[in-house]
Amino acid sequence: MNLSQLATEYIIFKQSMGMRFRAESVILKAFCRAMGDIDITQVTPNAVKDYLTGTGPITTFWHRKFDALSGFYRFALSRGHVSLFPLPTTIPKRPALFQPYIYTHDQFRRLVEMTDILGCSRRFKVQPATFRTLLLLLYGTGLRIGEALSLSLADVDLPASLLTIRNTKFFKSRWVPIGPQLTAVLVTYVKTRRQLPRLARNRSAFFATRQGEGLTRGSTERIFRLLCESADIRRKDGGRFQPRLHDIRHTFALNRLISWYREGADVQRLLPFLATYLGHINVAATQRYLAMTPELLHEASVRFQRYATEGGES
């Protein structure tokens, strides 16, 4: 059986079961290109090892590739296309877990203020107000960047303070209510947005360039990197990745948790609500967002001390 053909069948099979299977699909297609136009039985253990190792150090992506290939070869084995796995039996230790970058209030304020530089040159296709509002929306809702960029004018119901997030990760749509402060920010931005072209009327992008086109993920990332450098926001703890747009989502989740601790709320009862708000399929997915920062540990310690004291008094 041709390797590429079987990989395509496997991808279609997984997607027919309701899985997006995007990352795995990219990995498998890259694997097929690396192996060439050959039969699956011609794939050697050394060739697989070379593909997994690549040219750099072992990272978590090694394990992502290994997991994708393991699933593929189980599929091939169950259908009689192979009799042995060419995957290595010795698995390298996983690198330390990735730690998201948590923005302080001061850092985020500097980041928002730095959007003014977008108005200094016409080479930037995005107006300062557009990018400033995008950052505030991410900070105030924890939306994924793709969700925010996919918003249309029709998806933003300001009288109801409600956002409609359509067909995102896990093929889910959801409503995201927003508070009065963020609503006021969006109301102000809409006045600017109305002055830009609306290429598809109400289905036009909410966050648009000066020409009325929707912002792309790539251009948004590049502008964000420029703002971080200009605001002197960089990782200094030896972490592999510099602060990312997606880390704003982590910051939102952590800030929400800290606020609940300070309010004396029942955090365990409220976590499922946070998971739903963020568009996660379960609480476990949300818990991965809650990095143990000194501030969170302090609030948890205060809560435990209060609990222990009250328990002793009773």
The number of folded domains in the chain is 3
The residue from 144, 193, 250, 256 that is catalytic is: 144
Predicted confidence band of residue 313 (pLDDT cuts 50, 70, 90): very low
Which of 204, 230, 256 corresponds to the end of one domain? 230
Other CB atoms within 10 Å distance of the CB of residue 142: 24
Predicted confidence band of residue 260 (pLDDT cuts 50, 70, 90): confident
Which of 167, 202, 230 corresponds to the end of one domain? 230
The residue from 14, 132, 249, 250 that is catalytic is: 249
Distance CA 34, CA 284 (A): 35
The residue from 29, 169, 198, 303 that is catalytic is: 169
pLDDT, one tens digit per residue, over 182-231 is 999 999 999 999 999 999 999 999 999 999 999 999 999 999 999 999 99
- Do 134 and 182 have their domain in common? yes
- Do 164 and 210 have their domain in common? yes
Distance CA 36, CA 183 (A): 54
- Do 194 and 259 have their domain in common? no
pLDDT at 234: 92
pLDDT at 267: 82
In the chain, which ranges are E strands? 156-157, 162-165, 174-177
Pairing mode of beta strands 156-157, 174-177: unpaired
**73 is annotated as an active-site residue:** no
The predicted model gives 98-115 an average pLDDT of 92
Q: Which two tokens stand for residue 205?
A: 């992008």
pLDDT at 109: 96
- Do 117 and 192 have their domain in common? yes
**Between 285 and 257, the higher pLDDT residue:** 257
**144 is annotated as an active-site residue:** yes
- Do 41 and 146 have their domain in common? no
Distance CA 180, CA 192 (A): 19
- Do 114 and 206 have their domain in common? yes
- Do 214 and 283 have their domain in common? no
List of residues 6+ apart from 192 with CB closer than 8 A: 127, 129, 130
pLDDT at 314: 33
- Do 160 and 259 have their domain in common? no
**63 is annotated as an active-site residue:** no
pLDDT at 301: 59
Q: Report the candidate in 222, 221, 219, 228 with the shortest Cα–Cα distance to residue 110.
A: 228
**280 is annotated as an active-site residue:** yes
pLDDT at 312: 44
Distance CA 311, CA 281 (A): 35
The predicted model gives 61-77 an average pLDDT of 95
Name the phi and psi angles at 279, rounded to 5: 85, 25
The residue from 29, 246, 261, 303 that is catalytic is: 246
Q: Which two tokens stand for residue 223?
A: 């502008």
- Burial zone of 157 (CB within 10 Å; 0-12 exposed, 13-18 middle, 19+ buried): middle
CATH number of the structural domain spanning residue 176 = 1.10.443.10
pLDDT at 55: 80
**Between 213 and 283, the higher pLDDT residue:** 213
Pairing mode of beta strands 156-157, 162-165: antiparallel
pLDDT at 171 over 90: no
**Is 90 a member of any domain?**
no
- Do 146 and 182 have their domain in common? yes
**Is 98 a member of any domain?**
no
Check residue 280 and report its DSSP letter. -
**Is 240 a member of any domain?**
no
Q: Report the candidate in 214, 212, 205, 296 with the shortest Cα–Cα distance to residue 255.
A: 296
Instruction: Give whole-number Cα distances, 185 to 111, 179, 210, 249, in Å.
Output: 16, 10, 19, 19
pLDDT, one tens digit per residue, over 145-158 is 999 999 999 999 99
Distance CA 278, CA 141 (A): 8
Give the structural domain span for 68.
Answer: 3-78
Which of 203, 230, 257 corresponds to the end of one domain? 230
pLDDT at 120: 86
Q: What is the DSSP string of 15-48?
A: HHTT---HHHHHHHHHHHHHH-S-BGGG--HHHH
Other CB atoms within 10 Å distance of the CB of residue 111: 22
Distance CA 135, CA 172 (A): 23
- Do 126 and 223 have their domain in common? yes
List of residues 6+ apart from 45 with CB closer than 8 A: 86, 87, 88
Q: Report the candidate in 5, 62, 81, 65 with the shortest Cα–Cα distance to residue 30.
A: 65
pLDDT at 305: 56
**Between 277 and 212, the higher pLDDT residue:** 212
Predicted confidence band of residue 105 (pLDDT cuts 50, 70, 90): very high
The predicted model gives 130-136 an average pLDDT of 97
Mean pLDDT for the chain? 88
- Do 208 and 131 have their domain in common? yes
Q: Report helix, strand or coil for 208.
A: strand
- Do 286 and 200 have their domain in common? no
Q: Report helix, strand or coil for 175.
A: strand
**Is 126 a member of any domain?**
yes
